[in-house]
Amino acid sequence: MDLNFPTEETIAAVASAVAPGQGGIAVIRISGSFSKQAAQSIINIPGHQTWGSHKILYGHVLDQKTKTHIDEVLILIMDAPRSFTGENVVEIHCHGGLITVNRILEELLDQPYIRRALPGEFSQRAVLNGRLNLTQAEAIHDLISAKSKKAAQLAIAGIDGDINVEINTLRNKLLELLSEIEARIDFEDDLPPLNKNKLIKSLENINQELNQLIIDAKQGCLIKNGLKVAIIGLPNVGKSSLLNLLSKREKAIVTEFPGTTRDLLESEIIIEGIPITLVDTAGIRMTEDIVESIGISRSQKALITADVVLLIFDISVGWNKENQELLDQIPKEIPRLLIGNKVDLKQQKDKLKSDVLISAMNGDGEKELVRELLKICGATQTQGIAIALNERQLDLVRASSKALNRVLEEETKQLPWDFWTIDLRQAIKNLGELTGDEISEALLDRIFSRFCIGK
């Protein structure tokens, strides 16, 4: 990537999570040529400590108007290029919370030669200065956002450069094929004939690898983003008991009276490395209770926005008209499981109607339910995934695969080599945009604008 975007300004931002009463330590990061001057202007360093690179200093941040202490801090100094951004970087490690952190940042931003960092600007500068490639920077974003160990492992693979290596390998193969074709266009009489069958086979193999990346990316989305699973059913069939069973805690109130759950109740869990948001809904029925009606309306909305629906019914009562009407409300494209609950009771009806039989009260059938849930959403196919693309990267791989499909169509139509090169160049360009080898300033700004400030 050969870009010369302006990064002369010195920037500062809070680089750690900040919340009232939480976090013993917070970090404020400064990057740019005036980093040391900015820190020195607000910090009093006792004794004879020197501001050398890769040293940790001790001092106090001062209110520049009253000259009183704001906080006791440690200062970490990293001179270019041995820093995250490749620029001069100073990190101020202060006490956590909101008030002190913001006061220190305000003192810094009062300096005339420093401004607040834009979202993702530290990572963007790291890419521009060659400290990270684009896929590594995006993987840092994924690591911070990871909701499970598996998601974190995939992010680390991206930081280690596995995505970049994989895409560059495919891109280089396409560049070699393109050069072979263009050589025949320009010097056909001076070179031996091109083995078209071998060329087609190479293109098919590369396209197959791209398609595997697409399949892995779809499964990787489950690991990264998780699933929203709605638990629906008539009143008093065991929805809240099922939520409590899967959550391993008393998240929902359970009573013998229908209509106890009046609103949506969510619980975050991890199953086999997949983050899952369970949504316990109000029992859907006709009612004149205004509050319960509002809960039922929200349940119906949750029903059509879920990734998977668990429709639970009372097997001791059996499948009835109301259950069928509820089943008919589930959009056909949404996977669903029919769960027969209360198998602990002696009276059981309509066993064959169930995909899974359980007792939400004593846990019977829980393992089978989890297995079927993971199977129906495709989560059982995530174990062998080594790398996972984000949405931007996935779109570019799809576009590259479509371009190669067009090349293969051109071969069947016996079109000249010139037609092949157009789509081959497009496929190569898409993969270069994925890795950052071919990218514009506007596109780079758009990518990093999704990052949080301080990243």
DSSP one-letter string for 309-370: EEEEEETTT---HHHHHHHHHS-TTS-EEEEEE-TTSS----GGG-SEE--TTT-TTHHHHH
Q: Are 163 and 393 in contact (CB under 8 A)?
A: yes
Please write the tens of the pLDDT for every residue from 399-425: 999 999 999 988 788 777 778 889 999
pLDDT the model gives residue 455:
67
10-132 placed in CATH 3.40.30.10: no
In angstroms, rounded to a whole number, what is the distance separating the alpha carbons of residues 58 and 395? 48
Please tell me the CATH superfamily of domain 155-222+386-435, with its number.
tRNA modification GTPase MnmE domain 2 (1.20.120.430)
pLDDT the model gives residue 264:
53
Please write the tens of the pLDDT for every residue from 429-451: 999 999 988 776 666 777 777 77
pLDDT the model gives residue 308:
87
**Cα 147 to the center of its chain, rounded Å:** 9
pLDDT the model gives residue 301:
67
Residue 4 predicted with pLDDT over 50: no
Q: Are 225 and 150 in contact (CB under 8 A)?
A: no
pLDDT the model gives residue 60:
96
245, two tokens: 């069973």
Please write the tens of the pLDDT for every residue from 212-228: 999 888 777 777 777 88
- Per-residue three-class SS string for 173-207: HHHHHHHHHHHHHHHHHHCCCCCHHHHHHHHHHHH
Fold of 227-306+308-376: Rossmann fold (3.40.50)
Q: Higher-confidence residue: 292 or 63? A: 63
Q: In whole numbers, what is the pLDDT of the chain averaged over residues?
A: 83
Averaged pLDDT for residues 102-126: 92
Please write the tens of the pLDDT for every residue from 47-103: 888 999 999 999 999 998 899 999 999 999 999 999 999 999 999 999 988 899 999
pLDDT the model gives residue 83:
95
21, two tokens: 């009463």
pTM above 0.75, yes or no: no
pLDDT the model gives residue 303:
67
Q: Where are the domains of the chain?
A: 10-132, 155-222+386-435, 227-306+308-376
pLDDT the model gives residue 297:
62
Comparing C-alpha atoms, which of 91, 117, 106 is closest to residue 25?
A: 91
**Cα 432 to the center of its chain, rounded Å:** 22
